[in-house]
Amino acid sequence: MSEQPTSPDKGKSKAGPLRAFLALPNEDPRKMVGVAVALCLVCAVLVSAFAVGLRPMQEANKVLEIRRNILQVAGLMRPGVPIDELFKQVEPRTVDLRTGEFTDAVDPNTFDQRQAARDPALSDALTADQDLAGIKRRSHYAVVYLVKDDAGQVTTVILPVHGYGLWSTLYGYLAVKPDGREIVGLQFYEHAETPGLGGEVDNPNWRGQWPGKLITDENGDLKIHVVKGAAASGPEGAYQVDGLAGATLTARGVDNLVRYWVDKDGFGPFLKNLQKELAQDG
């Protein structure tokens, strides 16, 4: 039996094209492009896998950071005590800002006020006269946090606040007494103001001026102000906070956002309703 001629392609491995590619000189444009594309694909797969795998941890850290800020502004942080343990005395509740009443319309544990403010179905556009804080739209709902003592009595109310400074929107929490008049603390957790100037809103010394300041006078008239320079030393000083040196516009932004959120277009109606509710509960 005569030997059959062998085709040049017979028995070629399926990996032949790969071997041919690898055999190309390193300076060959085809090899350089191919390696770059392969590297990009591998990196994309790895990044996607890590993003998906780490998402639960990222969400847990986000919740933990929110709770940390809430506890700090209320003066509840305790060294060595887990944040989740301290947060047991805090009750999140949803408020309908259109009525100033508590509502079950949205879940306070999952509601995103920023996202809602961008949705015309869940927010209202503010007029120029209303928009003291420079936020353009106000969500229908907001999540407030009620701090309770061992007897279940509300001792502090924490309000989410935001407004425009010089370069950015400042996001933070304002803690007040249940009477709606006395401030417990003000703290921002996100902004892009100039370090050393407007960024001094983060300075503990400046934040330390807020506790004990009064929002309204005995007649209920709005009085709280961030003033230019130093607060007055007389009775008017109870309603004033020192300005920020070299950061007039940021200080004005903080003044505007605080006054907006405690007034009639913000949490003003809610604070009044809460006072009545707590008084009825005795």
Per residue in 95-145, pLDDT (tens digit) is 999 999 999 999 999 999 999 999 999 999 999 999 999 999 999 999 999
Count of Cβ atoms closer than 10 Å to residue 250 Cβ: 26
Range of the domain at 133: 89-281
Distance CA 74, CA 176 (A): 8
The answer to whether residue 233 scores a pLDDT higher than 60 is yes
In a domain, 55, yes or no: no
Phi and psi at 141, nearest 5°, equal -125, 160
In a domain, 102, yes or no: yes
- Whole-angstrom Cα Rg for the chain: 29
In a domain, 9, yes or no: no
SS3 107: coil
Share of the chain above pLDDT 70, in %: 90
Q: Which residues pair with 102 in a beta bridge?
A: 95
The mean pLDDT of 141-158, rounded to a whole number, is: 95
Q: Which residues pair with 164 in a beta bridge?
A: 169
In a domain, 4, yes or no: no
Model pLDDT, residue 176? 97
Mean pLDDT, all residues of the chain: 89
| pLDDT tens digit sequence for 239-264 | 999 999 999 999 999 999 999 999 99
Model pLDDT, residue 55? 64
The answer to whether residue 11 scores a pLDDT higher than 50 is no
Phi and psi at 157, nearest 5°, equal -120, 125
Q: Are the C-beta atoms of 158 and 274 separated by less than 8 Å? A: no
Residue with tokens 């309000």: 159
| pLDDT tens digit sequence for 263-277 | 999 999 999 999 888
In a domain, 197, yes or no: yes
Model pLDDT, residue 50? 66
Residue 279 — pLDDT band, cuts 50, 70, 90? confident
- Hey, what are 100's tokens? 């100033």
In a domain, 180, yes or no: yes
In a domain, 28, yes or no: no
Enter the pTM of the model: 0.79
Count of Cβ atoms closer than 10 Å to residue 51 Cβ: 10
Q: How many domains does the chain have?
A: 1
In a domain, 260, yes or no: yes
Closest of 204, 200, 166, 213 to residue 72, by C-alpha: 204
